Amino acid sequence: MNELAMSCDVKSPQEKKTKIIININNNLKEKLLYKYMVGYNGIWNTIKDFTEREEIEWAPVQDGKYVLMVQAKKPDSSKSFDYVSRMDYVIGKVEEKLISNIYIDKDKLVLGDKLTITVDTIKFPLMFRYWIKIDNEWEMIKDYSVDNMLSWVVKTEGKGEILVECKNIDSKNDFDDFKNVGFQVIPLKEVKITDFKCLTSELLENSELVFQVNSEHDKDRTILYKFFKVNSNREVECVQNYSTQKIVSYVEAKSGDYKLLCMAKDMYSINKFDDRAVLNFSVKKYSQIYIKNFTTDINYPQLCGTKVTLMADTIGGRELLYRYIIQGSYSREDSGYTICNSYIWESKMAGNYTITLMVKDKSFSGDYEAIEHLDYIIDEKSREPVKIQSVILDKNKGILKNQNINVKINASGGVELIYSFIIKRNGIEIKTMKYNKNSFMRFIPEENGNYELEVRVRDKYSDREYDCHSIVKIDVFDYMPAVIDYILYPVREYHLVGERVVINCITQDTKNVIMKYILSINNRKVEETEFVTGKSYAFVPKYSGIYKVEILARNIKSSKKFDCKREVAVEINEALPVTNTRITCDNANFFCNEPVIFTVHSEGGKDVVYEFYIMEKGDWNLVQGYSKKNYYTFIPFHKDEYKVLVLCKSQYNKDFYEDYNIFLFKAQ
C-alpha cells in the first residue's frame, strides 16, 4: 500500500467545488500508467482511466469524507495494477472523529486462526460495519450493527486489511467515520506424508485390511485424510472421505492387485490436497499353506492289522483338502483328497512304508501346495501297542498367566508305562520333565503366549525315545479377552417410531469388560459412545428405517481396538400396518336413484388414506383417488349388482396399498 508518493496542491479540508490538483511523485524510476479514482460513501468513481499524466484536476461537488486512490501499472503488465496509493480528503466542515482506534488481538496469524477486532470510539451508541480486503477486493463481512467487536476466521494467506465504517444511529450518511488496520497471515508449514503402511500382517480375501498414514505438520494443526482404492481395472472407490482418522480399514471381497491413494490436507487449506501418497498391495485368496507337523498316534514298529491314525497339523489356506498316500514294497493305498486332517490306516502286510501327506486349498487347481513324508515300519510280531487315550486339562479355555494348570494322562498298552512332559512357549522349549511313573503334572505359566505341551509315553523296557506322544496347544493371556455371549433386545413383529429400544449384553468376566456402541440409521452413523462399563444401550427412534447397533467389547487391560464385535439390526416402522378394513353402509336396502353412503373403518396405520372403486356392469371404475376422506356417496341408476372396492394405506407408505375390502349390493 502507498508505493507511490501521492499529494494534493491544497491541504484537506476544502470547500466543495474547489479545484484540487492530485499529484503523483514517481520515485520508482519506472515508466507507468496511472488511474485516478475517488471513493465517497462506499462508491468508487473513476476521474481518469490509465494515462501517462502524473497530475489531474478534481472539483468535488458534495461535502463529506473522500478516499483518493491512484492505481499504477507498467505498460506491458497483464495485471489490473502493479502499485496503489490512497489518501483521505475532507470536503466541507470537518466532522468530529468517531473512531479513536482499532485494536486487533494479533497482527500475525496462520490460516484458520480467529482474528478479534475491537473498535474504540469517543462516544456511544454508534453503529459499525466491517469489511475485509481479499485479493485486492473489498468484501463486507458484517453489516451495520451496534457491535464494536468482531471475530473473523482468516481463510487466505498473505497481507490482509480490515476496514471499519462507523456512523451515528440517526445518521443518514453511508458512514460518518472509518478506519482500517492491516494484518499478516503466515503461510502454513507444508503438510508432508512421511509414512504410509499396511498394519495387517496377511492381506487376505474377505478379511479386514488396516492401513495407517503419518504426516509431518505443525503439531497444533488439524490434518484431514482421504483414501481411494484403485483395483487392477483402474476402477476407483472412496474408502474414507476427508477425516482426521489416520487409520482406515475395510474388507476386500476379491483377491488381486490394488493401490490405495491417500490425500492429506490442512483443514483450512484452500488446496484440493497438500500432499498425497500411493501404496501398492496385493490381496491373496488365502494365506500360504504350511505343514507344521505330520505324525502318527503310535510309534513304529507295529503289528500287522494295527490301526494307525495319521494326523496333520497345518496352517494357512481357507478350505483345506488332505491326501494320504501309503507306499509299501508290495502295496499302495491312496485316500484321495478329503476334508479330514486325519486318516486311519490299517496295515495288511509287514514291511517298510513311506507315508506322504499332500495338502492344498479347495480352490487350487494344481496337485498340491504343501507336501510332507514320514517312514513307518510294520512287523510280523509286536506286543500290545502303547496308546494315549486322553490328555485331560482342568482348564479348557481362558487360561491366565500365573494360574495353575493340572494335566492328567490316560494311556494303555505296554508292560509298565512311564511319562515325560515337554513345555514350549512360542516354539521355544522352557521346561522338560524326565520320564517317571507319574501320569499327573502341574505347571504355572508366568508369561502370556502360545504354549505347547508335548506328552511322551513309553514302556519302561522300550529302547525308543517314546512309544506314543501327543501335543496339546494352550493359549495363555495377560487378561481374559472380552466375549459377548448373548445380546438381548425386544423381539417384536413391529418396532414403532417413539418406542424405546433397549439392548442388553451378556458378557463373560463382566466386571472387567467395557463396551462401545455405534448407532447407524440407514447405513449412516449418527452416534458413537466412548468405551463404558454399562452393558445396556437404549435409543428412541425418531423416524422409520433400519437402525443398526455395532457393539464392541474389550477387556479393560486390552490394548486392542476391540476383543469382540457383534451387530444388531432393528427395523423401525412409522406405524402398525393397516388391518381389519371393513365397509359399512347407512342403508339396509338399495334403490335406484337414491344416494348410498359407504364408510370405511380400519385399524393401525398413520394418517390413513383411502381410494374407492365401483364395479358397474362388470367394469371397475376409479371414483375417488387416495385422500383422507373415508366415505363415499354413490347413486345407482340401474337395477343391477354393484361392488365397492376400497384400498387403504398409511399416507407415507410407498406401496400401492396395505389393505382392502369389497362390499357387494344389489339395487332394486
127 contacts 167 by C-beta, under 8 angstroms: yes
Q: How confident is the model over 637-650, as a mean pLDDT? A: 90
Grouping H, G, I as helix, E, B as strand and the rest as coil, residue 355 is: strand
* Sign of the alpha-carbon torsion through 290, 293, 294, 297: negative
Encode pLDDT of 500-537 as tens digits. Answer: 899 999 998 889 899 999 999 998 999 999 999 999 99
Model pTM score = 0.41
Homologous superfamily (CATH) for 99-186: Immunoglobulins (2.60.40.10)
Greater pLDDT, 336 or 302? 336
Domain boundaries, the chain: 5-91, 99-186, 192-283, 290-379, 387-477, 484-573, 579-666
- Based on the number of CB atoms within 10 Å of its own CB, is 427 exposed (0-12), middle (13-18) or buried (19 or more)? exposed
Homologous superfamily (CATH) for 579-666: Immunoglobulins (2.60.40.10)
Residue 619 has pLDDT above 80, yes or no: yes
Encode pLDDT of 13-23 as tens digits. Answer: 888 889 999 99
Encode pLDDT of 383-408 as tens digits. Answer: 678 899 999 988 766 788 888 899 99
Domain 387-477 has what CATH class? Answer: mainly beta
Residue 568 has pLDDT above 80, yes or no: yes
Other C-beta atoms within 10 Å of 306: how many? 18
Q: How confident is the model over 598-611, as a mean pLDDT? A: 90
Q: Read off the C-alpha cell for 393.
A: 486339562
Residue 371 has pLDDT above 90, yes or no: yes
Secondary structure element (H or E) that encloses residue 642, with its range: strand 641-650
Strand partners, 330: none
Range 484-573 has CATH code 2.40.30.10: no
Q: How confident is the model over 156-162, as a mean pLDDT? A: 86
Encode pLDDT of 280-294 as tens digits. Answer: 999 998 889 999 999
Q: What is the pLDDT of residue 3?
A: 67
Q: How confident is the model over 471-500, as a mean pLDDT? A: 85
Residue 2 has pLDDT above 70, yes or no: no
Q: What is the pLDDT of residue 538?
A: 92
Greater pLDDT, 136 or 536? 536
CATH architecture of 192-283: Sandwich (2.60)
Residue 193 has pLDDT above 70, yes or no: yes
* Spatial CB neighbours of 145, under 8 Å, sequence gap ≥ 6: 127, 128, 129
405-412 vs 536-539, strand pairing mode: unpaired
Confidence band, pLDDT 50/70/90 cuts, at residue 27: confident
Average of per-residue pLDDT values in the chain: 89
Task: Note the CATH number of domain 5-91.
Answer: 2.60.40.10
Homologous superfamily (CATH) for 290-379: Immunoglobulins (2.60.40.10)
Q: What is the pLDDT of residue 643?
A: 92
Quick check: do 290-379 and 579-666 share a fold? yes
Residue 32 has pLDDT above 60, yes or no: yes
Residue 1 has pLDDT above 60, yes or no: no
Confidence band, pLDDT 50/70/90 cuts, at residue 144: very high
Q: What is the pLDDT of residue 197?
A: 95
Q: What is the pLDDT of residue 96?
A: 63
Instruction: Identify residue 503 by its one-letter amino acid code.
Output: I
